[in-house]
Amino acid sequence: MCQDSTLRAVCVAGPSDSGKTSLVEELVSRLGADGRVATVKSIHHEVEIDTPGTDTHRHRTAGAETVVGITPELTFDIATRGKRNPHEPDGDALLESDDREIRALSRGLERLARRGYDTVLVEGFAQSPLPTILVGERDPSAVGGPVIGRGDDSIDDLVGTIRSLEGLEFSHAGTPTDETDC
């Protein structure tokens, strides 16, 4: 059963090839000692993450809104609602926004909160209102959230700052959920 939860979420923003992914890798490694860590990556182009012809691909193209695949080592889910077609706001969103991309991010964060993650590192989504670590040459006015650090800060300082953040609260009361959302 899903429960109310809090979630620390931090955006890592900067231009391409500035070191965002390397920083996320290091932060995940360090923050994993504190609890469950997930990541969200903004991808600006279409990619096929499900091999055409596989059973999961066939399920999705037949019309399933969500397909869950379970292998001996991994579990994954593929949902048909990306940045172009996110769920409509339901008044209980973590990040209120009229922007489709931010609504899609909010829904992803809500799912991760329901699944009991403690921290989510978001690579990209620079216009989100989340606390942000800037990497590379980027003006702080180019991001939507408060700047809490820079990519060249010490990893210890960044981890300490993330650990001290107040979590986003998400109440699941009145929100339809099922086992795949928990």
For the stretch 152-163, pLDDT in tens is: 999 999 999 999
CB 118 within 8 Å of CB 35: yes
For the stretch 106-119, pLDDT in tens is: 888 888 888 888 99
pLDDT, mean of residues 62-78: 76
Question: How buried is residue 158: exposed, middle or buried, by Cβ count under 10 Å (0-12/13-18/19+)?
Answer: buried
Q: What is the pLDDT of residue 66?
A: 75
The structural domains of the chain, ordered by start, are 5-46+83-181 (3.40.50)
Which of 39-53, 83-97, 139-153 has the least mean pLDDT? 83-97
Residues making up the chain, counted from first to last: 182
Structure tokens of 164? 């001290």
Percent of the chain with pLDDT over 70: 76
For the stretch 123-158, pLDDT in tens is: 988 989 999 999 998 888 989 999 999 999 999 999
Q: What is the pLDDT of residue 176?
A: 33
Q: Whole-angstrom Cα distance, residue 21 to residue 147?
A: 18
